[in-house]
Each structure stands twice: as structure tokens, then as C-alpha cells.
């Protein structure tokens, strides 16, 4: 074992000891650390300056009580989180997630990933994340408003357009962002539009924000395939999920000539060999708010596969590209085996860390192109940063101009990942390229700013 490998292993052991029970955070750290042996060998100053130790310790972790009253007058209590992980490149930037699964380890894993994802955009934003174990499902607008107001009553003192800029994530959409911003404005007594992103387009929001993560992941996929002599035109694609990321990924894949033959939700998956009908999917998931089985009932060409993931479609059908766009660790080693047998040539993450380490190893060992989430799904935060720019100059950009900016950012992210992998002797390894490019940019800024 090389000296740099020993140093990395020792620091990782410290991370395990200092953060017990936070499996997702451990996984995120290990995934980055596995790419850094070459970096520390080439640049020993990163070890000398204890960058590994410092980058794994959030600058600030905030946990607070969120009391609110339901429609029956009963007082409810939830827990709120904001992890301000690293501000070397700019104000903390990252979404808020409202879901019963949220705990400190979840927020730390997401915030750690956000450091490198934000660095890859080339925009001046640091990494952070937040949320609550509140479940918005089944709650009335009044209950959600009262919860959001209570959450912001504490959170407002920790955020600001030059300090920390939250956005939406799972469970936090336009409605929640509106309530959060309204309470911030009320308490702070100022219209600081850049304090939160994902706002309505009529009051400071950016066009393309809703589409950005899905579109961006597809732009990245197209560049990755083209760089390796292929493209999405004619490709048969599986996309997990049926929320915003999945929906707009499907839309852009179809626009580029690909055919999405499967999508899913938590109840199961649908296989549609004629291609997912976006109008019907929108009606079922966004208007009726029904299970995806309803899609199959209303479309003769579709088949519902209950209780299984969309990757099960690969048991019987050829698949060229897979895009996990739902949640973390949804594509495991068994799924990777199925996809490889089905002929998959690329797997690109639209969600945050949706592929297990064992599945990633199997795909990479087989020579399959793999686009990690910190690169491929950076379109959402990139467009949030574009919203911040518009707020700063009191301007509003057209859809076409904003989408062109997004496309340019995703092309640059691909070029950075591919170029860095080539420079470090691991061509086509987008995981290593993304990790090294993001890490070195943040590490250089940390060294320049001193021991803080």
C-alpha cells in the first residue's frame, strides 16, 4: 500500500469513528476517496494541509425543532437540519428535502456530494444541504404552510444570498418554496430574492428550473456517448422514477431521437415498447396523482410490472442506456447484471447516488460507460446558480437563452470529467474524472484561504 493510500485509509477510519451510524455519508466519502490516491501522490501538499480531514468535516451543522399545528389543532414536532459543508468556492448551495427518511446522515451525504457537484459547474457556489423528517404527503396546503413558516422561523438566521442559498429537493416544490420565501421576507423585512431558488417565474424564479436536472442529465449522456462514438439517436432507454427529473429526462431523450421504453414509481414499473407517452404520464402522475399502474391501464402497448424496479424490463428486452432518476441506492448489483445481459452501454445517474458501490464496480469492470450523479445531475444546481445571477442583476432570461446556458455548462462538465480522467491515466473513467476535478478545485481554494 502506497503512503497516500495509507493516509486515505487512516482518514476514512476517522470518518467512520466520528460519524457512527451514517452509512450513506460513509458511502459518499469512500466513493470520492477511492479516486484520490493518484492525486495525493502527485500533490502531497493536500495531505500536508490535511485537506482530506477538513473536507469531510462540515463547517457548520444546524439541527433544530420545528413545531407546527395540524388542521385539527394538534401540535406536531419535527426536526429540521441544515448542514453548511464547505464555502471555499462560494456561499453554501443545496436543496431542502422534506421526507420521513431524512436524518443527519442523509443530509451530510447529500451535502458532501454537493461540494463536488457544485465545483464541477464552474460557478461560484459552495456545498450544503438541509431538510426535515416532515412528510408533506397527504397534508393540506394550510398544514404545509404552517410547517414551512415554522421551519423558516429558525432557518432564516442561518441563510442569505451571500451566505447560504437553499432550493427545493424531494418533497419541496414550488408551493413549499413560496411559503418558505414568504416567511423569510416577513421576518427579515427585505425582498432578498437570491436567498432561495426554485421560486415562481413571476416573482424571481428562472425558466428551465423545473426541467434542468432531467435535461442536464441527458445533455451529459449525449456528450458521453458521442465522445465514445455513439449517441442517443435510436437508443433504447430505461428511466427510473416518474417525477420531475425522470419526466424531463424522458422528454429530452425523445427529442434527441432515443426511445424510453420503461419508467417507474414506488409501486412498480411500466414497460412500453412503443415509447413512454409523455402526455399520458403527465396526466397520470401530475394531474391524477395516481400510481403508474394507471398508465398501463390507459395505454394498450404498456405492461405494468408490480412491485419490481424498472430494471426488470432488462430481463426480456434490449437496453442501451439506463438512467436511475429516483432515489439513492436504487440500482444494485443484481440490477447491474440484468442490464449488462441486456447489452447496456451506458448508465447515467439522474438522482443522487442511486447506484450501489457493488453495481458501479460491476459496470465499470465490464467497460460500461458510467456517469456519476455529481457530474450528470448537476443541471439542477447549475440552473439555481443561474437564477441567483438573474436575481443579482434584477433581470429575467428567456427559456431558450437559459437552456443554452445549461447545455453549455453540461458540455463543460463532461469535458472536465473526461479530460481529468485522461490526465490521470484512467481514460473513460468518469467517476474518477468527476471526483478528481471537483476535489482539486475545492482543495486549491481551501489552501489559498488558510486554515479556517
Same domain, 116 and 222: no
Q: What is the pLDDT of residue 328?
A: 87
Same domain, 219 and 359: yes
Q: What is the rounded distance in angstroms from the CA atom of residue 31 to the CA atom of residue 50?
A: 19
* Tens digits of residue pLDDT in 114-129: 999 999 999 999 999 9
- Classify residue 126 by its DSSP letter: E
Checking if the pLDDT of 333 tops 90, the result is yes
Same domain, 34 and 148: no
Write out the DSSP string of 334-383.
Answer: HHHHHHHHTT--EEE-SSSS-B-HHHHHHHHHTT-EEE-HHHHTTHHHHH
289 confidence band (pLDDT: 50, 70, 90): confident
Q: Does the reported pTM lie above 0.85?
A: yes
Half-sphere exposure of 23 (CA within 13 A, CB side): 4
End-to-end CA distance of the chain: 31
* Tens digits of residue pLDDT in 403-423: 999 999 999 999 999 999 999
Q: What is the rounded distance in angstroms from the CA atom of residue 55 to the CA atom of residue 48?
A: 14
C-alpha cell read off for 60:
457548520
The candidate with the shortest Cα–Cα distance to 52, out of 13, 90, 20, 105, is: 13
Checking if the pLDDT of 13 tops 90, the result is yes
Q: What is the pLDDT of residue 366?
A: 96
Residue 199 marked as a ligand binder:
no
Burial tier of 209 (Cβ tally within 10 Å: 0-12, 13-18, 19+): buried
Q: Is residue 433 part of a domain?
A: no
Same domain, 64 and 52: no
Residues with catalytic roles: 129
CATH number at residue 159: 3.40.50.10860
CATH number at residue 317: 3.40.50.720
Residue 329 marked as a ligand binder:
no
CA dihedral (376, 377, 378, 380) positive or negative: positive
Residue 168 marked as a ligand binder:
yes
Residue 114 marked as a ligand binder:
yes
Checking if the pLDDT of 233 tops 90, the result is yes
174-188 and 141-155 are packed helices; what angle lies between their axes, rounded to 10 degrees?
50
Q: Is residue 230 part of a domain?
A: yes
Q: Is residue 427 part of a domain?
A: no
Q: What is the rounded distance in angstroms from the CA atom of residue 133 to the CA atom of residue 152?
A: 15
* Tens digits of residue pLDDT in 170-218: 899 999 999 999 999 999 999 999 999 999 999 999 999 999 999 999 9
- SS3 state at 60: strand
Neighbours of 115 (CB within 10 A): 31
Q: What is the pLDDT of residue 382?
A: 97
Mean pLDDT over the full length of the chain: 97
Q: Is residue 389 part of a domain?
A: no
* Tens digits of residue pLDDT in 24-81: 999 999 999 999 999 999 999 999 999 999 999 999 999 999 999 999 999 999 999 9
C-alpha cell read off for 241:
422514477
Same domain, 139 and 175: yes
Q: What is the rounded distance in angstroms from the CA atom of residue 21 to the CA atom of residue 24?
A: 9
Of the residues 318, 340, 367, which one is the last residue of a structural domain?
367
Q: What is the pLDDT of residue 425?
A: 96
The mean pLDDT value for 228-247 works out to 95
Neighbours of 211 (CB within 10 A): 23
The mean pLDDT value for 318-330 works out to 95
Same domain, 46 and 81: no
Query: Number of structural domains, the chain?
Result: 3
Same domain, 249 and 298: yes
1 confidence band (pLDDT: 50, 70, 90): confident
Q: What is the pLDDT of residue 33?
A: 98
> For residue 53, what are the CA distances in angstroms to 20, 21, 29, 57, 213?
16, 19, 11, 7, 31
Instruction: Check: CB of residue 249 under 8 Å from CB of residue 324.
Output: no
- SS3 state at 80: strand
108 confidence band (pLDDT: 50, 70, 90): very high
Instruction: Check: CB of residue 42 under 8 Å from CB of residue 440.
Output: no
Percentage, residues of the chain above pLDDT 70: 100
Instruction: Check: CB of residue 301 under 8 Å from CB of residue 277.
Output: no
- Classify residue 398 by its DSSP letter: -
Same domain, 39 and 66: no
Residue 384 marked as a ligand binder:
yes
> For residue 376, what are the CA distances in angstroms to 107, 162, 217?
20, 26, 5
Checking if the pLDDT of 286 tops 90, the result is no
Of the residues 188, 204, 233, which one is the last residue of a structural domain?
188
Of the residues 367, 387, 412, which one is the last residue of a structural domain?
367
Same domain, 52 and 68: no
The mean pLDDT value for 151-163 works out to 98
* Domain residue limits at 28: 3-56
Amino acid at each position: 500500500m502506497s503512503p497516500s493510500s495509507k493516509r486515505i485509509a487512516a482518514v476514512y477510519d476517522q470518518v467512520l469513528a466520528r460519524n457512527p451510524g451514517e452509512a450513506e455519508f460513509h458511502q459518499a466519502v469512500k466513493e470520492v476517496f477511492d479516486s484520490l490516491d493518484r492525486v495525493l501522490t502527485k500533490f502531497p501538499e493536500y495531505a500536508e494541509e490535511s485537506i482530506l480531514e477538513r473536507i469531510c468535516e462540515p463547517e457548520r451543522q444546524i439541527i433544530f425543532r420545528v413545531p407546527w399545528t395540524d388542521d385539527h389543532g394538534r401540535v406536531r414536532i419535527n426536526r429540521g437540519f441544515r448542514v453548511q459543508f464547505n464555502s471555499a468556492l462560494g456561499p453554501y448551495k443545496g436543496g431542502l428535502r422534506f421526507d420521513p427518511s431524512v436524518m443527519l446522515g442523509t443530509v451530510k451525504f447529500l451535502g458532501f456530494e454537493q461540494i463536488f457537484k457544485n465545483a464541477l459547474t464552474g460557478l461560484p457556489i459552495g456545498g450544503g444541504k438541509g431538510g426535515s423528517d416532515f412528510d408533506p404527503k397527504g397534508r393540506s396546503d394550510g398544514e404545509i404552510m404552517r410547517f414551512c413558516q415554522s421551519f423558516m422561523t429558525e432557518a432564516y438566521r442561518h441563510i442569505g444570498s451571500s451566505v447560504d442559498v437553499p432550493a427545493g429537493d424531494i418533497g419541496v416544490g414550488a408551493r413549499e418554496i413560496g411559503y418558505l420565501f414568504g416567511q423569510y421576507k416577513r421576518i427579515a423585512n427585505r425582498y432578498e430574492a437570491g436567498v432561495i431558488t426554485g421560486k415562481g417565474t413571476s416573482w424571481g424564479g428562472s425558466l428551465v428550473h423545473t426541467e434542468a436536472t432531467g435535461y442536464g442529465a441527458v445533455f451529459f449522456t449525449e456528450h458521453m456517448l458521442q465522445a465514445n462514438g455513439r449517441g442517443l439517436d435510436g437508443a433504447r432507454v430505461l428511466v427510473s422514477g416518474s417525477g420531475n427529473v425522470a419526466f424531463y429526462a424522458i422528454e429530452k431523450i425523445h427529442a434527441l431521437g432515443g426511445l424510453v421504453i420503461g419508467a417507474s414509481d414506488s409501486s412498480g414499473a411500466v414497460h412500453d415498447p412503443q415509447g413512454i407517452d409523455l402526455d399520458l404520464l403527465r396526466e397520470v402522475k401530475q394531474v391524477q396523482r395516481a400510481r403508474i399502474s394507471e398508465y398501463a391501464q390507459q395505454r394498450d402497448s404498456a405492461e405494468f410490472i408490480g412491485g419490481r424496479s424498472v430494471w426488470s424490463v432488462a430481463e426480456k428486452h434490449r437496453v442501451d442506456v439506463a438512467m436511475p432518476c429516483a432515489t439513492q441506492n436504487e440500482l444494485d448489483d443484481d440490477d447491474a447484471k440484468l442490464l449488462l445481459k441486456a447489452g447496456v452501454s451506458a448508465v447515467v445517474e439522474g438522482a443522487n447516488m442511486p447506484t450501489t458501490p457493488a453495481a458501479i464496480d460491476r459496470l465499470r469492470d465490464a467497460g460500461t460507460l458510467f456517469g456519476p450523479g455529481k457530474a450528470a445531475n448537476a443541471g439542477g444546481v447549475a440552473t439555481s446558480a443561474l437564477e441567483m445571477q438573474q436575481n443579482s442583476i434584477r433581470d429575467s432570461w428567456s427559456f431558450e437563452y437559459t437552456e443554452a446556458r445549461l447545455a453549455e455548462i453540461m458540455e463543460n462538465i463532461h469535458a472536465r470529467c473526461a479530460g481529468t480522467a485522461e490526465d490521470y491515466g484512467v481514460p473513460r473513467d468518469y467517476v474518477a474524472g468527476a471526483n478528481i476535478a471537483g476535489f482539486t478545485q475545492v482543495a486549491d481554494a481551501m489552501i489559498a484561504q488558510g486554515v479556517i
